[in-house]
């Protein structure tokens, strides 16, 4: 196979798209390189090392998996954006393999071309037994978990003109419908990767809880209550201050709720 660095350069040209402001949007390039690192790491896991896999073909498939999306993701081409809205993930994978065949025809031999395209196509097939496709699938699903997953979510909300309140409502809906539990159970082929995804999801949960507190200024309310409690009691004898008692009770409830979360 040709040197991977040359294929990376071609992938960057394919994945680079103009942003709404006309500047280069490197989002898909950054994502592809991160998934590439995920694939390399998963391939070294004990439960994966027993398989015979083609690391080079896996790397190429990871770099070009989103090439089909890039073709229709131009912010300046409204027709392409309309087409993109109707495409399924299967369509995307099919377009990605077409781009691989177009761009890498002189760099991959027939066996490598078949393996790269099969890896891309089957990465979206739950029943696949192709080890490269299984690794790519887990790498992409891991991308949706943790801090990076939150980054993707926020990016989508901002792109659609929505704020933190809408993002929190979307997060709550996913919790209500056990979306994340289903993803953990169904989306990963390797138990080690699933456990890592669970750890990342716990980080996400803590972040969203903090975002919810800040969004409704709950931390500021706690600060004001503590400040009120620190003030000298009113100069009255024999009669408790009802406002102060209410503040103490409210603060105690908040601290108990946080401790039990």
Ordered by start, the domain boundaries in the chain are 1-137, 218-260
Q: Where are the beta strands (DSSP E) in 88-245?
A: none
| Alpha-carbon dihedral sign for residues 121, 127, 133, 135 | positive
Distance CA 143, CA 123 (A): 14
pLDDT (tens digit per residue) in 214-228: 999 998 998 888 888
pLDDT (tens digit per residue) in 80-138: 555 555 678 888 999 999 999 999 999 999 999 999 999 999 999 999 999 999 999 99
DSSP string spanning 26-87?
A: -HHHHHHHHHHHHHHHHHTSHHHHTS---HHHHHHHHHHTTHHHHHH--TT-HHHHHHHHH-
Distance CA 158, CA 163 (A): 7
Instruction: Using the predicted structure, report yes or no on whether residue 244 has a pLDDT greater than 60.
Output: no
pLDDT band at 202 (very low <50, low <70, confident <90, very high): very high
Q: For 178-201, what is the mean pLDDT?
A: 94
pLDDT at 171: 93
User: Is the entire prediction scored with pTM above 0.85?
Assistant: no
Cβ 146 vs Cβ 153: under 8 Å: no
pLDDT (tens digit per residue) in 14-70: 998 766 677 778 889 999 999 999 999 999 999 999 999 999 999 999 999 999 887
DSSP string spanning 164-186?
A: HHHHHHHHHHHHHTTHHHHHHHH
Residue labelled with tokens 């949706």: 144
Inter-helix orientation angle 164-176/191-215, to 10°: 130
């Amino acid at each position: 196979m040709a040197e991977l660095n040359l294929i990376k350069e071609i992938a960057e040209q394919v994945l680079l798209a103009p942003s709404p402001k006309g500047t280069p949007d490197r989002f898909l390039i950054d994502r592809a390189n991160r998934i590439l690192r995920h694939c390399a790491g998963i391939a070294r896991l004990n439960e994966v090392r027993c398989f015979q896999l083609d690391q080079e073909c896996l790397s190429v498939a990871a770099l070009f998996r989103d090439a089909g999306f890039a073709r229709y993701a131009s912010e300046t081409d409204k027709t392409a954006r309309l087409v993109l809205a109707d495409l399924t993930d299967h369509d995307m994978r099919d377009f990605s393999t077409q781009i691989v065949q177009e761009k890498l025809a002189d760099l991959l031999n027939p066996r490598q071309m078949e393996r790269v395209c099969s890896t891309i196509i089957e990465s979206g097939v739950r029943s696949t037994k192709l080890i490269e496709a299984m690794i790519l699938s887990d790498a992409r699903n891991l991308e949706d978990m943790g801090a990076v997953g939150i980054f993707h979510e926020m990016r989508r909300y901002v792109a659609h003109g929505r704020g933190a309140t809408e993002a929190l409502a979307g997060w709550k809906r996913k919790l209500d419908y056990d979306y994340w539990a289903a993803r953990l159970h169904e989306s990963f082929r390797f138990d080690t990767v699933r456990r890592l995804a669970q750890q990342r999801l716990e980080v996400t949960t803590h972040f969203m809880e903090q975002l919810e507190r800040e969004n409704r200024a709950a931390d500021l309310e706690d600060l004001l209550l503590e400040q009120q409690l620190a003030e000298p009691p009113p100069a009255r004898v024999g009669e408790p201050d009802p406002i102060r008692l209410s503040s103490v009770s409210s603060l105690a409830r908040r601290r108990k709720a946080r401790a039990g979360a």
